[in-house]
Amino acid sequence: MIKRLPPLFRNFYFVTGATFLSWMIFLDSNDLINRFRMSAKLRSLENEKEYYHEKINEVEKDRQELMGTTELLEKFAREKYLMKKETEDIFIIQEKD
């Protein structure tokens, strides 16, 4: 039965290499499929990290502005949280898409 196989499939190095490759591609805990999944997740987490760093910088900038003067604090409260003085009315205008 072994004699019927082509010489390439009877070669020890070919059989060992094919076994090793199939083990690494499909059966190992660090197989190629898991490596691709993990690299995709890493890229996603790096993008998320970059997004949160930008948000932290924005918050720090707003904080620095607020700690500057009371006028800026009042402006920030009016714009972000729609706060008003007791004698004022607020009108919110929303544009339709």
- Residue 62, number of CB atoms within 10 A of its CB: 13
The span from the CA of 15 to the CA of 66, in Å, is 71
What would the pLDDT profile of 21-78 be if each residue is shown by its tens digit?
Answer: 888 888 888 888 888 999 999 999 999 999 999 999 999 988 887 787 888 888 777 7
Supply the angle between the helices 32-66 and 70-81 in degrees, to the nearest 10.
Answer: 130
The span from the CA of 73 to the CA of 67, in Å, is 7
The model's pTM? 0.52
Q: Look at residue 31 in the predicted model and tell me its pLDDT.
A: 83
H/E segment holding residue 17: helix 12-22
The span from the CA of 67 to the CA of 59, in Å, is 12
Structure tokens given for 18: 């094919």
The span from the CA of 41 to the CA of 49, in Å, is 12
Q: Look at residue 76 in the predicted model and tell me its pLDDT.
A: 78
Cα–Cα–Cα angle for 48, 39, 16, rounded to 5 degrees? 170
What would the pLDDT profile of 2-16 be if each residue is shown by its tens digit?
Answer: 678 777 778 889 899
